[in-house]
Each structure stands twice: as structure tokens, then as C-alpha cells.
Structure 1
């Protein structure tokens, strides 16, 4: 288990401010945030690259704050993989074991086992300069994992991988983490990437933790407007809420009134996820609350869904599953929408 307690540091334009974060044993935690939010600095503090900082870092209850990187027994895969170009794949994987002066028989056995697990046996005598991005990533992972670290830190491990390969390698990372029962901390700036691997996600904003939770918790209960935006809540409308029995009614700036399933009062922002909005092409949705009539102004077919934009007094983005693509309305069609009250989150303005 890793415990980060009140960690603060300033490095030029990068800074962390009183960061508190716990990473559980055997957990795959993703550290997510925009460029410049301090993700890499935090990982480098855990690895021991930066030791002059405020606060403490505990590993399994042991204070490692003042220890050098090699004393922490933490694996680290930097963004550029940092493979040795003058060594073969096998020699790169064996490097950490040789640095520890383990017996040659043990080194050979552990390296061969790791190469097999990562599908690198056929590439063992190749130079890193001849490898693809995915092969380099697996080699760097093997070099980190073969030393049996308690923790593995991965800084943007999929950033140099093409989109087709990225999903496959994300699946591979999850498989490896489960196979070794390791504690993985994975840095990225893509929420889609985080959803492929994370048990939990910690969102970092300007050097501070904005929210920590499962994917479901972040989607259903964003703690702030920033988190809602970062996790893809495309429909964000300023308004004023009034409490009522069983929830609230929010009046948006456009005059549209929507029932909300949570109690709130005063000005704020209504956040509505696109996949939560129900759409029927010319069909009525009954007398339920939050039924709106509108006209389709745009349709985009994407890999995971169909994006439909509807003018219903407010411009709403709706995500429809590709499975029902034959029923997707075209631009210009009249449609009926329903926004379930429980799908509306009321957040403070920023």
C-alpha cells in the first residue's frame, strides 16, 4: 500500500499542493489530468527522483520519503521507456537483476520466464532500435517487473502507441497486473484510456487532487464542474435551482425548466451526460418529467457511439449506441427527448 501524506513541491512551473492519496495493495490506480497538472512530478516523487519535498510517502507503513530510488524497491517505466540501445531485449530485461548481483542461474530463469509471459521470447536477441512501440513498451515492462517490485509506476505508457494498438496494450497491462498481483500507478491524460485499465482514478488539477473514485463514481457523482467536463459531461447549463418535494427544479438560462432528483437551491450548473438522455425518432415518451421536443441539427458516427445534436430550446448532445444505428435520426428530423431527473447533477459554478 502507498500512502501520500500532505505532499507539496515546487519545480519551476510545476507544483503539487498538499496532496493526500492512498493506493491499495493489488490496485490498478490511474492518475489522470491535463498536461501540466503535476502527474509526472507526483510519480517521480513516489519513485524517489525528487526527495526534497514537504509531506511523507509511506510504502506498506514504512516511511520512504528520504530513501534513494534503488532503496524503495519500486519499479518505474518512464514515458520514453529509457531502454539501453546498446543492449539486446534480453539484456535490457536482465539489467536490474545483474545490478543486484543475483546468481546467473537465477537471472537466466527469471528473464526467460518474463520474456515468455510478455511474448518477447522471439525478440530476445533484437536491439531496442528495431522494435515497434508496443514491443518497446513490453520490454520496459519486463525490465521493471522482473525484479519483483512491490509497486510499478507507469508514466504515459500508451502515449506513443497508435490507436489500434492502444486498446490491445491496455488489455495486456491489465492482464499483467492481475497475473503478478501488483500495485500499478498509471499516468495518462485520456479518460477513455483510464476506463480500460483502472480500478480507481485520481484526477489531478493544477497540482491538487480534484477527486478520487471508481469510473462509475466519477461518471455518476462528479465532485466539480472540472471533473464533469474532464469525464465527458458534454451538456453543461447554467441555471438556478429551487428545492421541491423529492428533489429540485432548475431553471436554465434559456428558460427551460428541468426536474432534478437531488435537493439543491441557488445558482449552479446542470450537468447531463450524453448517454443518459433518451431519444425517440418521432415517438412520444409519455407524460414523464423532462420531456422535450426538438430538431436534429447534427449527426456524427463515431467508433463507440453515434453523436446526435438536438436543438430543444437548449442544444443537447445525445450518444446513441452503434447497435441501433439503423434507427438514428437524420439532420432535420423532429425528435422527442427525455432527460431522467436522476441523470442531472447540480454542480457549483467555477
Structure 2
């Protein structure tokens, strides 16, 4: 493993990074996902050597670098705002790190030519940073970090300042970095789409702790906590009481009964992804065990998809193609049937045992 983080903790003011352990593989694109204030940037800065951990160790290729100065760690970092030097042109910005290391001018020029060609920015070398687009500035910042040939590249919210079209294009370009350069990438973000498009594996962080690690499918299909489920787009999250019955496991939320597959009983949280809800105007003949009569309360159309909100004793949101919406002739106030499998219900323990009924906010 090129990078191993063992039981890392750090207190900065009122914030605490708590006992973080991670391993990053060779040429891996690793996403750290979490909301603002989760501790993602502090973790990256501690890995980079900007902060010294209070406890825990950091290893690079088996060598303990916890006390190694940042400039000697063979770790590159690109901040959210790119931090290009406005008084230097693109060529000098990219070559800055090698110049600081005392490399001869010819070696710097050759290295700048090589990395700028690799990232498709060779034509920008004479330009000044303020004349570049957001995507071009990002490529320059990445080139400046890669030119020192780091073992690990740290990216702090690299796509957040870009428009949607540029963001999609840059995801494609970023995904190629490990295969093109051999570098391992750690990319922090609060966008779950980055995990889908980029990540080989991911860690989800909340309040300074890593709460789940896995590949994108594991994170999305098998979230370990309601927080992970909500953060990865599970819109229908509730709390209720799970009980055994002659029909199998039933979760009650008020008067609503939900069939689920779970070993848990008592107070639980549970969630259903919008795409797992099937809409119909009549009761379907299906093996799915959950069939709920509902009233449409709101329809929100975005592009080719429609989000349909219904009230069936609990408020659910499902997603349909616009074509399906029109074919079913669903409109506000209509009565519909919602069908979903027991296996589509993800159940989490309610560790506080509150048993509070209703939606999780």
C-alpha cells in the first residue's frame, strides 16, 4: 500500500478528527465523501504535512512519514481555488516546485513540456493564470502538483468551482490520472456523483470520523447508516418499529406497515431508494410484498426524469421517466399504487432506541 493512515486524530479549535484509519492502493482513485465541516480538508492537510497529528501515524510505501516535513513527503496537493501564482505565467507556475527543489533549468523545461503535453495544456504555457478558464486553471494546478512526481496526489474539492458541463468533462480527465501517471489520487468532495464517476473506492466522513469504506456499489447499495444513505441520495428515510409477524418482518410507521428483510427488531431506521418504487394506476400482479395506495401531492420534472411525491400515510418520493409519467397519465391529486420489494427496504439499527415515528430530517 503506498499510503496507510493509522488511528489518526487531530484537534483544531473546536473540531476533532477522530481515529481515522485508511489504506490507499497503488494507482487508486480514492474518494473521501462528506458534507462541509466533516473534516475532509483537515485530513488531507494532515496527510500532506501541514498539520501534525495529535495521535496516529502516516506511512508512505512502508516508511513512517508522520514527522517528515511536507516538502519531503512526495505528496502533491491541489486546493479548491488552485492557488496559481498570478505574477507567473503557466510555464513558470508548473515548474515552480522543481525550481524550489533546485533542479537545473533544462530539466525543468523538459519536465514542463512533458506534463503539459500529458494534460493537454502545452498551448497555454505562455498565458497568465487570469486569462484561463476554470478547467484550464485546474489542469495547470494539477500539472504543478504532478511535476514533482508525487506518489500520492491530494485534490481538495477540485470540481466545485466549475460549471456543470466543465465538471462532467473534468471528471473524465481526472479519472485517467492514475493510469496515465501511476499516481494514487485522494479526492475529497461533497458530491456523490464524483464517487460514481471517479472512485475506485470511497470513505464517507461525518463529524471527523470515517463511518464507511467501500467501492461505489457498496456505498450506494449497502449504506451502513442513515447518514450514508441520505448523503448518497436515498430520499425516503424513516424511523419505525420492527416486529415479527406471521407474514415475516413488519416495520410500522403510524398506521403504515412495511415488509422488510432484516434481523433487527424494535426501534429502527429504514430507507427506500426512489428508483425502487413502481407506480401504477391499478394494483399490480407482482411478487413484491409492499403495495401502498397513495395520493400524488407534487410532481417535479427535471429533464427526462420526473420526481413524484405521494402520501400513503408516509410521504414517499419516486422517480419516473417523463415518458412513463405521461403514459400513466399521473397528475397532482391522482390516486396511484406504489409497489416495492421487501428487499428494497434498507434497515438500520436505531442505536438510541427512540422509536420515533416519521421521516428522518
User: TM-score, normalized by length of structure 2?
Assistant: 0.91
CA offset digits 1:215-237 (Å, max 9, x no partner) = 21122221111111111111112
The CA distance in 2 between the partners of 1:116 and 1:187, in whole Å, is: 26
1:302 aligns with 2:308: no
Aligned positions of 1:49-68 closer than 5 A:
49-68=50-69
What do you get for the CA RMSD once the two structures are aligned?
Answer: 2.0
Does the 8 Å CA contact 1:282/1:334 hold for their aligned counterparts?
no
Residue 260 of structure 1 is matched in structure 2 by: 260
Residue 186 of structure 2 is matched in structure 1 by: 185
The CA distance in 1 between the partners of 2:336 and 2:297, in whole Å, is: 11
The alpha-carbon deviation at position 181 of structure 1 amounts to: 2.7
Check 1:278–1:185 CA distance in 2 against 1; reply closer, same or farther (3 A cut): same
The CA distance in 1 between the partners of 2:166 and 2:95, in whole Å, is: 26
Aligned positions of 1:60-99 closer than 5 A:
60-99=61-100
Check 1:303–1:202 CA distance in 2 against 1; reply closer, same or farther (3 A cut): farther
The alpha-carbon deviation at position 64 of structure 1 amounts to: 0.3
The CA distance in 1 between the partners of 2:173 and 2:287, in whole Å, is: 48
The alpha-carbon deviation at position 14 of structure 1 amounts to: 2.3
The CA distance in 2 between the partners of 1:322 and 1:183, in whole Å, is: 41
The alpha-carbon deviation at position 297 of structure 1 amounts to: 1.4
Residue 334 of structure 1 is matched in structure 2 by: 335
The alpha-carbon deviation at position 59 of structure 1 amounts to: 1.0
SS of equivalent to 1:139: helix
Residue 316 of structure 2 is matched in structure 1 by: 316
Residue 284 of structure 1 is matched in structure 2 by: 284
Question: Structure 1 stretch 153-162 or stretch 93-102: which is displaced more?
Answer: 93-102
Residue 293 of structure 1 is matched in structure 2 by: 293
Residue 197 of structure 2 is matched in structure 1 by: 196
The alpha-carbon deviation at position 246 of structure 1 amounts to: 9.4
SS of equivalent to 1:3: strand
1:137 aligns with 2:145: no
The CA distance in 2 between the partners of 1:172 and 1:92, in whole Å, is: 20
Question: Structure 1 stretch 339-348 or stretch 283-292: which is displaced more?
Answer: 283-292
Residue 209 of structure 2 is matched in structure 1 by: 208
The alpha-carbon deviation at position 262 of structure 1 amounts to: 2.4
SS of equivalent to 2:142: helix
Residue 48 of structure 2 is matched in structure 1 by: 47
Does the 8 Å CA contact 1:225/1:348 hold for their aligned counterparts?
no
Question: Structure 1 stretch 136-145 or stretch 45-54: which is displaced more?
Answer: 45-54
Question: Structure 1 stretch 312-321 or stretch 205-214: which is displaced more?
Answer: 312-321
Residue 223 of structure 1 is matched in structure 2 by: 224
Check 1:60–1:321 CA distance in 2 against 1; reply closer, same or farther (3 A cut): farther
Residue 150 of structure 2 is matched in structure 1 by: 149
Does the 8 Å CA contact 2:283/2:291 hold for their aligned counterparts?
no
Q: Which runs of 5+ in 2 are unaligned?
A: 353-361
Q: Which runs of 5+ in 1 are unaligned?
A: none
User: TM-score, normalized by length of structure 1?
Assistant: 0.94
Question: Structure 1 stretch 272-281 or stretch 299-308: which is displaced more?
Answer: 299-308
The alpha-carbon deviation at position 303 of structure 1 amounts to: 4.3
